Each structure stands twice: as structure tokens, then as C-alpha cells.
Structure 1
Amino acid sequence: MSPPPAPPPDRRLVFLLAAGHRRVQRWIEARLATDGGGLTSAQSGVLFYLGAADGALIGETAEALDLAPSAMTGLVDRMTRAGLVERRPDPKDGRALRLHLTDHGRAARAEAKAGLAHLNAHLTEGFTDDEIAVVARWLSSLQTKFPKGDATP
């Protein structure tokens, strides 16, 4: 007697994406709270971005992280108080501010990066490289299919 057929795959993609996002976010926040020196995932995102673009304008950083300017202002305020980043005037435009990592911010970034390597290993466990490539391509396509600021179908 042959085994029963496998159930069809769950195609509730929006639900699965949202539920997966919430669970991963909770896992990240819990891990960062214990192992990441109290960083939030948003703060880690700023540290990662500035690691590649130290001295970026605050607006550029907000855009890269898909954050509203008001959310970015509060985030940078908290990160400045924590000694992770500092604001410096733009030498070409005195009205603009650039964000720079502090030594403490660079050290926190290194710790968060190590945690991210563990997370990526955990996320990809049990899947082939080809399967992960398809998932990554699908997730990346969402940014093109749903561009920022475009609410029209």
C-alpha cells in the first residue's frame, strides 16, 4: 500500500509572509535584547547601512531602510543617546546632517552581524541553495512589484 499523497502546499502567501515576518521579528527582538546589547532590529539596520555608507545623510539612511522621516528622527535620537551614532553637519550644506558610526556603534554592528549570520543559518536550515535562491528571488520581486509610495494595483 502506498503512502497517502502529500497535502497541497499552503498558497496563502500574504498570510504566510505576514505570520513569518512577525515570528522572525519577535525572535530577532528577543535575541537582540539578550545577545545584542539591547539593540532593536531597526537600530541594527542603521548600523548595517552605515557600515557600508558611514557619513550618509539622515534622509538617505531613512530611504534605504524604508522608514518614515519622523520614525528615523526618533531612532537616531535614541541611537545618539546610546552612543552608537553621531550627527555631524554636512560640510557642503549646513542645514543637512550626516550620520557617523561611533566606536561603540562599530562594535555593536560587529556583534549584530555575528548574530545575523546565525539567523541566516537558522532560516536556511533544511533547504537547498536552489530553494533559497527561489525564495530570495520571490522576496526581492516584492520590492519591484510594490514600489515604495505606490498604493495603486
Structure 2
Amino acid sequence: MCEGKGDGQGQDPLLLATDLRIVLSRLVRRLREQSTVGDLTKSQEAVLLRLERDGSSTTTELARAEGMRPQSMAKTVQALQEAGLVTGSPDPADGRRILLALTDTARDHFRTGRLAKDDWLTRAIQHSLTPEEVDLLAASVPALNRLAHYP
């Protein structure tokens, strides 16, 4: 891991970037281990997350947004519908189109999964960090947030 003064001077940005990528990847993996929405593929998870974030959408819009062929997306959506995680209803603006949305079951899975992740992370912070490290971690959140929003 990158060693430095901690004041931003003398840090090699490349080494820091590498260390940060590795650590964040490990943390994301650990968080993913804490909850799952069943045995879903990455494509199915991506569709659920997009519907949660962006709201109702058509299969064609989802395919475009996820860089998939419409036929492949149709199969993904069908599997999600069969699992009871996605439902379709006619578009009020154009009854020929079907708008897909999350079911209450999917929303419950998201809520439960987030609570499990929050619980694990809370316990990890409380049991593996010193009070000083907790303060340091809290102080780093705004900088990490800026990194996450960098173009």
C-alpha cells in the first residue's frame, strides 16, 4: 500500500490511485456478499438497478441504456417477470408500448439488501477501526464523493 505523509504532499498519485482502486474493489466485493437478490445474472441486476434509479422504462429503452440487443433484453425482462421482480403495464401515452417497473417484491429486496450492507459496514467500522480512524474515514467521505462524481 502507498505510504505517505497523509497531507497530500509527497504522495505518488499513481500509487495512491492503485491502492484506492484495490481497497475500494475489496470493499465493494464484501458489501455485495452481504446481500443478494437471489440468483440473478449481472444483466438482470443491472436492469433492476436501472428501473429503481430511473423509473419505468420500455424493453427497448432498457436495451439501449444497457448496450444490449432488444431480443436479449426481452429474455432478461421475461426472467425478471417470471421471478416476480418486474411488472409491465400499458404506457398511458401510447398503449402499444409496455412500461416495465419494479414490483414491491423487488423493492423489498433492495431495502433488505441495503440494510444488510449498512449493518455489516457499521459493525466493521465499530469493531475494526480506532476512534481516530473513524474520524479519519468520516473526514475522507467528501473527497471520495468528489472522486465518484469526477467526469
Match of 2:68?
A: 70
Verify: 1:141 aligned to 2:146, yes or no: yes
> Given the two structures, how large is their TM-score scaled by the length of structure 1?
0.55
- What's the offset of the Cα at 1:115? 0.9
Tell me how far apart the structure 2 counterparts of residues 13 and 119 of structure 1 sit (CA, whole Å): 26
Q: Is the Cα–Cα contact under 8 Å of residues 35 and 114 in structure 2 kept in the other structure?
A: no
Match of 1:84?
A: 85
Runs of 4+ displaced beyond 6 Å: 57-62
Match of 1:117?
A: 118
Gaps of 5+ in 2: none
Tell me how far apart the structure 2 counterparts of residues 131 and 113 of structure 1 sit (CA, whole Å): 24
Tell me how far apart the structure 1 counterparts of residues 145 and 61 of structure 2 sit (CA, whole Å): 20
SS, match of residue 84 in structure 2: coil
Gaps of 5+ in 1: 1-6, 147-153
Q: Is the Cα–Cα contact under 8 Å of residues 91 and 97 in structure 2 kept in the other structure?
A: yes
Match of 2:30?
A: 27
Tell me how far apart the structure 1 counterparts of residues 23 and 101 of structure 2 sit (CA, whole Å): 33
Percentage of pairs with the same residue:
23
> Given the two structures, how large is their TM-score scaled by the length of structure 2?
0.56
Number of equivalenced pairs: 133
- Deviations for 1:122-143, whole angstroms, at most 9, x for unmatched residues? 5644343x53443222222124
SS, match of residue 145 in structure 1: coil
- Deviations for 1:28-82, whole angstroms, at most 9, x for unmatched residues? 333335xx544678839945962x76536679989xxxx7342994764543342
Match of 1:98?
A: 99
> Using a 3 Å threshold, how does the CA distance of structure 1 residues 114 and 135 change in structure 2: closer, same or farther?
same
Larger Rg: 2
Match of 2:136?
A: 131
Q: Which amino acid aligns with 1:98?
A: L
Q: Is the Cα–Cα contact under 8 Å of residues 58 and 99 in structure 2 kept in the other structure?
A: yes
Q: Is the Cα–Cα contact under 8 Å of residues 124 and 132 in structure 1 kept in the other structure?
A: no
Q: Which moved more, 1:14-23 or 1:53-62?
A: 53-62
Tell me how far apart the structure 1 counterparts of residues 118 and 93 of structure 2 sit (CA, whole Å): 37
From 21, 24, 27, give the equivalent of 1:18: 21
